[in-house]
Amino acid sequence: MLQALEAVDLLDRWRRSCQVGSSNVWQMHGRWLRPPIILADEPTGALDSKTGAEIMDIIRRLNEQRLTIIVITNDQQVTEKAK
């Protein structure tokens, strides 16, 4: 998940939010780093084709790490890449 955050330029924001120090925050972030399921609703819907391909590559790599990802899409190209 950290690589996915870094790929979309959100890793620094996530790290700053971890500095709160509360055990509840750490528990929440631990769960967030390894969620049981990721729901992706139209993950490429408003993106250019290059960025959409990068997002689909991130989703593929996360799935290779044995994360369950449910993608909701009307994009036939995204559908064809699904397992």
Strand (E) or helix (H) holding 4: helix 2-7
Digit-by-digit pLDDT tens for the chain (83 residues) are 666 666 766 666 666 666 555 555 545 555 566 777 888 889 888 888 888 888 888 888 888 888 888 999 998 888 888 77
Residues 43 and 8 both lie in one domain: no
51 plus 83 within the same structural domain: yes
3 shares its domain with 28? yes
Q: What's the confidence (pLDDT) of residue 67? A: 84
Look at residue 52 in the predicted model and tell me its pLDDT: 87
Considering the domain architecture, whether residues 40 and 78 belong to the same structural domain is answered as yes
The residue segments making up the domain with residue 81 are: 36-83
DSSP 22-55: -HHHHHHHHHHHS-SEEEEESTTTTS-HHHHHHH
Same domain, 52 and 83: yes
